Structure 1
Amino acid sequence: MADDVLTAVLSLRRAGSRVGAERIALLEAVAAEGSITKAAKVLGLSYKGAWDAAQALNNLFDRPLIQAQAGGAKGGAAELTPQGQAVLTAFRKVEAELGGVIARLEAGLGGADIGELFWGLGMRTSARNALRGTVSAVTDGAVNAEVTLKVAEGLEIVAIVTRDSVRELDLAVGKPAIALIKSSFVTLAVGEGIRTSARNQLRGSVISREDGAVNSEISLSLADGKSLAASITLESARALELAPGASVWALIKAPHVILAVE
């Protein structure tokens, strides 16, 4: 567990001090306040912003960092898991050590900003869903390859990428990778006996539903604390009667899954 925590913490730190600090601040606020709503108020965030950040953190680690129940504007109980506490402690220790190292490096570079020099390491994506996992299988083809990513126990996501991408990203069994999925690429279905050509058929339950004038954003709970966001039409959300607690299938075509490595 210690190695996993350190790797994840360094990944957060490489993503840029601003991004890392914001997420660590959320962990600290949840630990202190005991709810997402109160943590959001302390940090000056909207409830949705804080909830989305908590879900993103849980998706990027092998085990959930925050255990929470959606309570909306009225609040719901939340606490850090042992993994969350370990990450929080490790991050502060690593940050203190790296702070001294970076200061010495910048002094040696004539005061250049390390963050500006290595901005690419903090790449951020518009994809609503980013789930970190480990490659469990690679099936080679004539042009493309099928890559299976284990993101939780009993939860795998399959992606179709080019053979060149497999080589360039060094995708091999046991290697870590992140699955990026746009929320608009997630199709939802209800009921049993679903027959579809979508390679990924993930079972989940609705955490929340936010309706807009035309579309609805549906947040789903998957296995082992992982979550997924889907953007569908408001008419479809009503027709499927999607409400918190409803059982649903998330369908994702394998070519719609983008793989990234750190």
Structure 2
Amino acid sequence: MTPTNPMSALSLLTQHVTRRPQRIALLAQIAQLGSITQAAKAAGMSYKTAWDAIDELNNLAERPLVERSVGGKGGGGARLTGDGERLLALYQRLESLREHMLESLEEEADLELIGRLMMRTSARNQLHGRICGIERHGLNDLVAIELPGGARIQARITRESTEKLELSDGRPVVALMKAGWLYVDLPQIPCPAGLNALEGCIESIHEASGGPSEVRIQLPNGQVLCALTEQERIDILRLNEGDPVRAQFSPAQVILGTPL
């Protein structure tokens, strides 16, 4: 296993939350109120948006930042882990330096450039990991990524992309997959060769009228995947909350991002 570089992972996560101050506000409210429902209201976001934010923060961190319990008083109890408390404290220290940093910018165009470089993504699934191997396949590279806890996935990208992102063993990356790209199956059914496969348990199923349902899958390492699945397939597999499932997807459907 590649040794963890805490500073690289911390740098990646700090860049993310610095661009999303509302999520830091959510962490602060969770620390104070101990309730996801109350914290979401205080931070000015919906309950579902708050859950999505917590999932994304936990997925990007080396270890979960928030521990949750479903069905607690006020719609679900929650508290910050030690890592969450340290990140919140770090952000608050960085915020105190923000004004000094902005004073060093010479033109408003500098802010616009930073904004373009720090674009958000529409991909629902963002998993933090670390490169543990790169194999050449013709004009493409097959990049292996180790997730926290030891599970591995692969991304098939062009060699030009490998060079542009300066990918190498041990480098932290974020793997992005759209929810519609994930195919949900049962663990006992053989997975076709060449596909990525991550097993976990169904955290929740959110039905949608006139479209696919949202199946949230919690992985053993605490990260959460979201898969858009037709209700017909959910019925065929008889899926319910708590059931073990497998999310599978092609390496060609994994987009890689690196910290700036």
Taking structure 1 as the reference length, what is the TM-score of the superposition? 0.90
Match of 1:251 in 2: 248
CA 1:176/1:194 → structure 2, altered by over 3 Å: closer, same or farther?
same
Matched residue type, 1:93: R
Percent identical among aligned pairs is: 33
Match of 2:234 in 1: 237
Match of 2:75 in 1: 75
Tell me how far apart the structure 2 counterparts of residues 54 and 9 of structure 1 sit (CA, whole Å). Answer: 13
Tell me how far apart the structure 2 counterparts of residues 218 and 72 of structure 1 sit (CA, whole Å). Answer: 22
Deviations 1:3-62 (A, max 9, x none): 357514541266x3xx2x111001111111112122112223221110000000011111
Match of 1:180 in 2: 176
Tell me how far apart the structure 2 counterparts of residues 39 and 63 of structure 1 sit (CA, whole Å). Answer: 21
CA contact (8 A) 2:9 2:62 kept: no
Matched residue type, 2:11: T
Shift of 1:199: 2.0
Shift of 1:101: 2.0
Q: CA RMSD, aligned part only?
A: 2.0
Deviations 1:186-224 (A, max 9, x none): 000014142323521111000111001221001110122
CA 1:208/1:242 → structure 2, altered by over 3 Å: closer, same or farther?
same
- For structure 2, the residue ranges without an aligned partner over 5 or more in a row are none
Matched residue type, 2:180: S
Indicate the SS of the match to 1:67: strand
CA contact (8 A) 2:38 2:74 kept: no
CA contact (8 A) 2:17 2:24 kept: no
Match of 1:137 in 2: 133
Match of 2:91 in 1: 91
Shift of 1:261: 1.2
Tell me how far apart the structure 2 counterparts of residues 72 and 259 of structure 1 sit (CA, whole Å). Answer: 37
Shift of 1:94: 1.3
Shift of 1:113: 6.3
Shift of 1:74: 5.4
Match of 1:203 among 187, 194, 199: 199
Match of 1:221 among 218, 229, 237: 218
Indicate the SS of the match to 1:152: coil
Tell me how far apart the structure 1 counterparts of residues 115 and 190 of structure 2 sit (CA, whole Å). Answer: 44
Taking structure 2 as the reference length, what is the TM-score of the superposition? 0.90
Match of 1:43 in 2: 43
Matched residue type, 1:146: L
- For structure 1, the residue ranges without an aligned partner over 5 or more in a row are none
Shift of 1:252: 1.0
Q: Are 1:105 and 2:104 an aligned pair?
A: yes
Shift of 1:98: 2.7
